[in-house]
Each structure stands twice: as C-alpha cells, then as structure tokens.
Amino acid sequence: MRMKAVVFDGPGRDLVLTELEIDEPRATEVRVRITAAGICHSDYRVLAGEWGAATPLVLGHEGAGIVEAVGDAVQGLEVGDTVALSWTPNCGRCRYCVSGRPQLCQSAVAHAYRNVLPDGTTRLSRAGEPVYSYLSVGSFAEYAVVPESGAVKIDAGIDPAIAAVVGCAVTTGVGAAVNTRPVSVGENVLVIGAGGVGLSVIMGAGLQSPGRLIAVDVVESKLQLAKEFGATDTIDATACDVVEAVRELTGGRGVDVAFEASGRAVGVEQAYASLAAGGTAVVVGQVATGERISIDPMAMSGRELTLTGSNYGSARPSVDFARILGLYQRGLLPLDRLVTDRVRPEQLNEAFRAMGRGATEGRWVVRFP
C-alpha cells in the first residue's frame, strides 16, 4: 500500500514529505492509521545527528491512531480499536518483562532501539530500499505497522493529540515521579527543564502533594507554564546559579528529589548538587552521545545520595496509559494544556528548528489531514 510519510535521510538534511510503500502486518503485528503524532526532543537528537541512526528513517515515536489491519496471530486487538503507541514494544518473556519492568525489555532494546520490528526487518520501503521506523513506531506518517505490544488499546473518545503525547512525554514524565522515584507528600522537588517531559514530571509530582515544587528553565514563558502545571517556585537558569537558588528556596537544605528533564549533562550535575541528605536525583533527560558527568563520590556516601535513571517513566504501557488517561479524564492531569501547537506534516522542519531554538512550548503535535 502507498502512503505519505516524512522521511529523514541524514543529519543536516531537511525532512522530506514523500510517498512510501507500507507492507501488510505480519502475524503478531497491526497496521495503525495515525491520527496524531507528538514531537519529542528525542526525535530532534536523531535529526541533529546527536544520536546515530540508520537511514532512511521515519521519525516520530509518540503517536495515536486506529487499528486498520491485524496479523493472523494477534489476540488483543481488533480492527477499529483506538490505540496509543508505545516505543518499548515488549516481548512479555524476557527477565525484565516477567519481573514487571517491560521498559527494559531485551527485545525492545535489540529491535525497537535499532528501529526495526522484532523479526529484525521493516515494513516500509522507498523504491525498493528499506526505510526504518524510529523506535518501531515511525509516527510521522499516515500509517505505521507496529508489534501488537506496541499498540495499547485506549478509550475511543480520547482526543488523538492527547493520546499521542501519552505515548512518550506524559508517560515518561509522570512515570518518573510516580513509578521510578515516587514523590511523597511534603517532599521538596526540583525539575530541571520545563519542556514536554519536564511539565509532565511536574504534573506527576503535583499529584502527590509535594512541598516545594521548583521548576528550572531558560525561557520565561516556559516557567510561567510550569506554574500553571503546579510549580510553586521557578528559577531562570540564565539569571542565577541554579544550585544556590535551590538552596535559598529550601532554607539551605536542598531538595529530596531532583528530576533532570532538559537532557544536559550539566543539568544532571545540578540536580545531584541540589539534593538534601538522603535525596535522589533522577535522570530523565537524555544527553547527546558522549556527554559525561562528574560527581563527588564522597558526598554520595557521606550524605547517602542516590543517582538513578528513568526510562519511559519506568512504565508498563499496557497498564499505565489507561491509568494516566483515567487521571486526565477525572481532571487531575491538565493534558489539554500540554498540547500547545498543532502542525501539518510539511511544517515539521520548521517545528524542529523551533525546538532547537527552545521555542516550542509544551508539546507540539502533528496531524496528517
């Protein structure tokens, strides 16, 4: 079948809106008509050449859609189902899946992270040449063929833009604060970076009634948005020393939990240096390949500090997507406010340039007409 898709041919080159061939889903796969796709900074990392990836590639790993075809062995989905896409299509059998940590699934690491389906191949091609789909999703297209476990059934009535952003930013951010290192009532919390993921961390932390909830960014309008999402205090990182400012806001003690969500090594160091004794820094943002951090191991032992990472909000998409959407439907997560702009596929180059300049507020969503 022919479809329109936005193709990445390598760093430094504009994305191209073109026609691709998409094969029928194999036994355990489904074809989804994409109704909305979100723009994540991880797509930008690939586009900017900060992370390597084989090309040609259809980017986009936040997506929602309608199931249009199912493989012979698919058991949990039917044609017509509304789904949000997951970028850790988990195998259900590896040690991580069976121990309840599908976000670390070995099959997803071996296949989705190489932008192929679990059998090592891709369903997309351009003039006979294989085209990869980013994280086994490839949502900047009219259709995607994904593994059954990469499509999670959700309520049909959910706005596609909301469902799409649950596919990465929201699950990553909310999950970091409720799954990876659950915030407790009254704890002081720091969130560095108030983009799509950082605002979601703020929402997740806010659910648990923290003490101070401090947001850091370099763009004033994003700090304002952070307040709307529940931040009690904001720090403009261009105007002061972040760690000193955190100490001032917390009576010199520091925060109990610090989330890094700007994707910078320095941000991780700031999160760690802002901790109170016994505190935990959670690395959510993902840095350009090769960046390194420096921390003081003496402080780590003497003050019992923890430094940990969070992949996909330590989520189990088949459970957590519905949980998150349920909270949204009850008015507890302002996801409508997170989606701030909607772009057409031909505007994606401009949208990524805006992201590079720091000019994308909240989450921008693409819709194919």
Instruction: List residues binding ligand NAD (CB under 6 A).
Output: 40-42, 45, 168-169, 172, 192-198, 216-219, 222, 237, 261-263, 267, 284-286, 310-312, 355, 358, 360
Give which of Zn ion, ligand NAD, none residue 355 binds (C-beta under 5 to 8 Å, depending on kind): ligand NAD
- 43 in Cβ contact with 135 (< 8 Å): no
Distances (CA, A) of 113 to 8, 87, 88, 89, 338: 16, 9, 8, 10, 27
Distance in Å, CB of 163 to Zn ion, minimum = 15
Give which of Zn ion, ligand NAD, none residue 190 binds (C-beta under 5 to 8 Å, depending on kind): none
Give which of Zn ion, ligand NAD, none residue 216 binds (C-beta under 5 to 8 Å, depending on kind): ligand NAD
Distance in Å, CB of 132 to ligand NAD, minimum = 18
Q: Dump the DSSP string for 258-284.
A: EEE-S--HHHHHHHHHTEEEEEEEEE-
If one asks whether residue 40 binds Zn ion (CB under 5 A), the answer comes out as yes
Helix runs in 196-258, H state only: 196-206, 220-228, 242-249
Distance in Å, CB of 154 to Zn ion, minimum = 18
Distance in Å, CB of 130 to ligand NAD, minimum = 25
- 4 in Cβ contact with 129 (< 8 Å): no
If one asks whether residue 325 binds Zn ion (CB under 5 A), the answer comes out as no
Residues 333, 338, 342, 343: what is their CA dihedral angle, to the nearest 10 degrees?
Answer: -130
- Tell me how far apart the alpha carbons of residues 114 and 134 are, in angstroms, rounded to a whole number: 8
Q: 184 to 213, contacts with Zn ion by CB under 5 A?
A: none
Distance between the two ends of the chain, CA-based, in angstroms? Answer: 18
Q: Nearest to residue 60, comparing CAs of 161, 150, 164?
A: 164
Distance in Å, CB of 298 to ligand NAD, minimum = 26
- Tell me how far apart the alpha carbons of residues 71 and 50 are, in angstroms, rounded to a whole number: 36
Q: What 3-state class would DSSP assign to 139?
A: coil
Distance in Å, CB of 172 to ligand NAD, minimum = 4
- In the shown chain, the binding pattern of residues 73 to 92 toward Zn ion, with x for contact by CB under 5 A and - for none, equals -----------------xx-
CB closer to ligand NAD out of 3 and 281: 281
CB closer to ligand NAD out of 39 and 305: 39
Give which of ligand NAD, Zn ion, none residue 219 binds (C-beta under 5 to 8 Å, depending on kind): ligand NAD
In 9-110, the DSSP E strands lie at: 16-22, 29-38, 57-58, 62-70, 82-85
Give which of ligand NAD, Zn ion, none residue 198 binds (C-beta under 5 to 8 Å, depending on kind): ligand NAD
Distance in Å, CB of 288 to ligand NAD, minimum = 9
Q: Which residue is nearest to ligand NAD (CB)?
A: 195
Find tokens 């407790």 and name the residue: 184
CB closer to ligand NAD out of 330 and 357: 357
- Tell me how far apart the alpha carbons of residues 265 and 285 are, in angstroms, rounded to a whole number: 9
CB closer to ligand NAD out of 70 and 192: 192
Report the greatest alpha carbon distance in the chain.
Answer: 63
Q: Is 365 left (phi over 0), alpha (psi -120 to 50) or beta?
A: beta
If one asks whether residue 284 binds Zn ion (CB under 5 A), the answer comes out as no
Give which of Zn ion, ligand NAD, none residue 90 binds (C-beta under 5 to 8 Å, depending on kind): Zn ion
Binding site for Zn ion (CB under 5 A): 40, 42, 90-91, 94, 97, 105, 107, 168
